[in-house]
Amino acid sequence: MTKNQLTRLTIEIIERGFPELSNIELTAVFRKSKDYHFCWGLLSPEWFFIEASTRLKQAPLIAVSGGLAHELVHITNCYKNIAFDNIADLIYKISRRSYIWNERRTDMEAVKRGFGKELVAFSEWAYTGKPENPERGLSMGELRSIVEA
């Protein structure tokens, strides 16, 4: 997957499930990272970026879509000024439990917006064979049971 394909996929996901983001500027790039699969941030109040680890270039499209949908929930919350995401780093320092709660709620919102199968695919691609970590949000088992329900 190229940077242009990543950008196009992000725009497709916005069109499919995040209408409130349709007017904002978005930059999507690949970056070498051992620490994360995705991260997001703000370049200006109307301009967001998403960074995807270069490892995702080899991932199935549906898995990349799931990861992007999760990040877009964070961006939507920030854009709508839902306080939790704006101070996520601070929250993490204060309370790991609040951070975990926020990651779980972010996954739930992505499922609600129609990206459950994509989240399962991302979880399978990223975490199969790795120990569970609640900081990632919903577990693979939880995601599967929600999507299959």
Q: How far is the CB of 35 from Zn ion (least distance, A)?
A: 13
The distance of closest approach from Cβ of residue 109 to Zn ion in the complex, given in angstroms and rounded to an integer, is: 11
Q: Nearest approach, Cβ of 64 to Zn ion (angstroms)?
A: 15
The closest alpha carbon to 148, from 111, 109, 104, 110, belongs to: 111
Quick one: 23 or 95, whose CB is closer to Zn ion? 95
* Nearer CB in complex with Zn ion: 6/68: 68
Footprint on this chain of Zn ion (rule: CB under 5 A): 103, 106
Nearer to Zn ion, 4 or 135 (CB): 135
Question: Helix, strand, or coil here: 27?
Answer: strand
How far is it, in rounded angstroms, from Cα 47 to Cα 25?
Answer: 5
Beta strands in 36-144 (DSSP E): 38-44, 47-53
